[in-house]
Structures are given as C-alpha cells and as structure tokens.
Structure 1
C-alpha cells in the first residue's frame, strides 16, 4: 500500500482495515482491555502523517473507519473525515516515529509491563534467552536492557523522557504504571516486537514471583 494524505482515500482505507485487524488481535490477547491502548501506522513522510486508532473505543470492536489521520504533532489533520478523535497519546506515537524512523507503533496496557515497570524503574535487563532474537539481539552473551520511564499526562514531557532513555538497540520502552510501547518498520514487525517483549516481561514477572 502506498502513502495517503487524507482519510477516506483507498490507501488509507487499506491501512484502516489493517489497523483494525491488529487491534482485534491484541484485544483478544487481553492486552487492550476496555478502551485502552492504541496503534498507528505511517502513511506519509513528507509531511509526516500517521493513521491511528480512534480514542475511547473498544479495540476489539473497531471498524475500518474508526481511525484518525494525524500530523507530526499527533493532531487530527484538518479536513479529514475522521470517525472519532485521536488519543492524546498520538503525539507520542508521532514522536517515536520521528526519533526512530519506525513505520508503525503499538501501545498496549499489559499487566506484566505495568508490574515490571514498578519493580524495575531503572530498566529491565535480559540475557541468555532465545526469544531475544525476536528483537534482533543475541540469544547469549549479551545483556539487553529494556528502558523504563516514569509516566506523565503531558505528552511532551513523556516524549522527552522517552527520548532521553531510548535504547537504539531495543525497539520498545515501558512506561511505569501505564504500559508498553513498541515499534517496527511496519505493523507486522511492530506486532512481533510487541509479542516478544511481552513474553520477556511475563517471564521476568513469573520468575520474580517464584523467588
């Protein structure tokens, strides 16, 4: 699919269907309960445009039109026929894209990410696990640190914290008391990174409970 510049174009409609399918997948896993979480995909780079899931909706029941086209600051693009409004967190999605060059961003509210964010505010270290290959790291003899940042309702402040903590070798960050952000070159890669990082967090949480 090629880039789009306005909601309702065939290209954006295609991205909307893809976002809905991915949201339903994560909701079925229990990672986007209630109306929590959001997904985005880059539809254009010059100027930067992202299609994001609309705010306040059950992510397991979205339709292809329940998406919003936003600009480089996360604001709804004027003149587009959005079915809802973007979450304030769309601004953080846009910030992640600008910082990393990602093509898609996933934000989920999982128990393991919230719990481990509280337990390891300085970062969560992993090593000697085959699953690390799923985020492009070595399975052995390498320590991989997943950054953890403090939460804020101010997306500029939260974005500054993310930028300061960003590990260019890890496509994810935990927001303490909030959830997990991951990204990738496209939605498929972002989904894989989300699944791998969540697995690592669940394992670490289970091991802590067993100690």
Structure 2
C-alpha cells in the first residue's frame, strides 16, 4: 500500500470512528503499515479533526515512530510502531471511548469476558473460555507505555486498554483492526451497562 492509498484508507476509517463519537475533537489516531523492510507506517497527523481528514493528512514514520519525510505525526506514533513490532499487525487503532475509560477505572486488573457470542469476532470461542482485556497504567513516555503494553498483552486479545485514556486495538489490515475495535468496544459497553444495572438493582 502506498502512502496516498494509506491516507485515503485512514481518512475513511477515522471518519467512521468519529461518527460513533469515539474520536471526538482531535482525539485518537490510526496507522497502517506501508512497508516492512524497513518498517514504515502511515500515521494520522497530529492536531486534526479526525472526522475531517483528507488522504494527505498522514505522516510516514519509521519503526521507532519518528517522522521520515517531515510532518508532525501523533505523539503516540511510537506506540503504534511498537505494537506493530510486537504483534506483526498491519494496522493499529487508538480511540477514546467512554466505556473504555469507565471500565478501566472499575477493573484496573483487567476485564474478563466469557460466554459471549461476540468473542467470535476476535477469533475466540464463544463459550468455555475466558478472555481478558489487559489494562495498563498510562504514561506520557511512549517507551514506558510500550513496555507496559508488551508485558500485559494477551495474544488471544488484539487490544490493550490504557487506564484513563483509551483503547489500542490492532489487526492484520485496517478492516480487521476496525472489526476488532468495534467488537472490543461492544464488549466494554455491555459490561458497563450490566454493571450499572446490577448496582441499580441492589
């Protein structure tokens, strides 16, 4: 995928997530791998409304998240690159959702899902197996945050929740990364709603 194609794909994906309210204002960022040797990613540019991106609103970064040809990538580009190196992903999504932040506060030890058909959307069996979404403490240092993500991630769950911040989700390509994001967010919204219902009934 060349940079122009990558920009068009990321603009379309960002518009979709923004329409859900998951990338409010300039929050959130997306990336897609454009080359493996050496590693290159197209990352959404910093400070732009994610619902109004154009195909040119991307910055190419290297395997450490540093801009290759100028431009100002997201401050979290280094974490996108780290996720790609760790997982072999082809695309990474970072969204700020209410459910993610709320559930991260309630379950700083991680969020367990089981007996739900939607787990099939993550390639996991719907029954007889627990899958945990790891929760890690936030940091403004992407190396520190990357280390925490690397230590906590579960290969069965293509996502990590950063406490007080949002979700990082990945997949082999932008479409699959989007699907994983939508599934994980659905699971979080269900758990959030279920917890609220139980508290209301007590």
After TM superposition, the score normalised by the length of structure 1 is 0.93
CA RMSD of aligned residues (A): 0.7
- Please give the secondary structure, in 1, of the residue aligned with 2:32: strand
Q: Hey, what does 1:178 align to over in structure 2?
A: 165
Matches within 5 A, 1:1-211: 1=1, 11-77=2-68, 80=69, 84-211=71-198
Q: Output the CA distance in 2 between the equivalents of 1:32 and 1:172.
A: 17
Question: In structure 2, what is the Cα distance between the partners aligned to 1:206 and 1:120?
Answer: 14
Instruction: Quote how far apart the aligned CAs of 1:143 are.
Output: 0.5
Deviation at 1:95?
0.2
What stretches of structure 1 move > 6 A for 4+ residues in a row? none
Alignment length, in residue pairs?
198
Structure 1 residue 88: deviation in Å? 1.6
Q: Please list every run of 5 or more consecutive structure 1 residues that lacks an aligned counterpart in the other structure.
A: 2-10
Q: Aligned partners of 2:93, 2:57: CA distance in 1, in Å?
A: 16
Give the secondary-structure state (helix, strand or coil) at the position aligned to 2:185: helix
Query: Following TM superposition, by how much is the alpha carbon of 1:12 offset from its aligned partner in structure 2, in angstroms?
Result: 1.1
User: Structure 2: which 5+ residue stretches go unaligned?
Assistant: none
Separation (CA, whole Å) in 2 of partners of 1:208 and 1:148: 18
